[in-house]
């Protein structure tokens, strides 16, 4: 596993996956077939041996007929005292203040102050 944080996430996801799969009465092999995954991949995820990708989360949740967040219960990010960057997300449409073509983006980037 890449780092301790990734291992914590993978283990928490694995515990949730195992709990929900057993509750639904499915074997790892049956869940794998329903999610288009090999049963060894399901086992690896349940043991926390691999962090789950978003597409795999959606496949597994769909195969279990549960919302994806049920497989993420108890897993959270707690920000530390310092941040080094930020993520943003906009709806697919640019607002009037957002650049919407390469020329506007280049112009806006050239005017942006360096930190």
pLDDT digits (tens, 9 = 90+) for 5-45: 889 999 999 999 999 999 999 999 999 999 999 999 999 99
Q: Could you list the residue range(s) of the whole structural domain that residue 39 is in?
A: 4-72
Residue pair 28/39 in contact by the 8 Å Cβ criterion? yes
Residue 50 in this model has a pLDDT that exceeds 70: yes
pLDDT at 88: 60
Residue 18 lies in a domain: yes
- State yes or no: pLDDT of 104 exceeds 90: no
Residue 111 covered by a domain: no
Is residue 108 pLDDT above 60, yes or no? no
| Count: domains in the chain | 1
The answer to whether 15 touches 45, Cβ cutoff 8 Å, is no
* Structural domain contains residue 37: yes
**Domain at 31, CATH number:** 1.10.260.40
31 near 21, Cβ under 8 Å?
yes
pLDDT tens, residue by residue, 74-99: 998 888 777 666 666 566 644 555 44
User: How many CB atoms are located within 10 Å of the residue 100 CB?
Assistant: 11
| Cα dist from 86 to 46, 76, 79, 83, 96, whole Å | 31, 17, 11, 8, 22
Q: Is residue 42 part of a domain?
A: yes
Residue 23 lies in a domain: yes
Residue 61 lies in a domain: yes
């Amino acid at each position: 596993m890449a780092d301790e944080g990734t291992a914590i996430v993978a283990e928490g996801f694995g515990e949730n996956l195992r709990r929900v799969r057993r509750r639904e009465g499915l074997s790892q092999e049956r869940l794998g077939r329903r999610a288009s995954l090999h049963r060894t991949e399901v086992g690896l995820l349940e043991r926390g041996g691999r962090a789950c990708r978003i597409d795999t989360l959606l496949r597994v949740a769909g195969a279990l007929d549960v919302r994806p967040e049920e497989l993420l219960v108890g897993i959270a990010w707690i920000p530390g005292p310092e941040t080094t960057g930020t993520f943003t997300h906009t709806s697919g449409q640019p607002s009037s203040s957002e650049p919407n073509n390469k020329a506007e983006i280049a112009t806006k980037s050239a005017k942006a102050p360096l930190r």
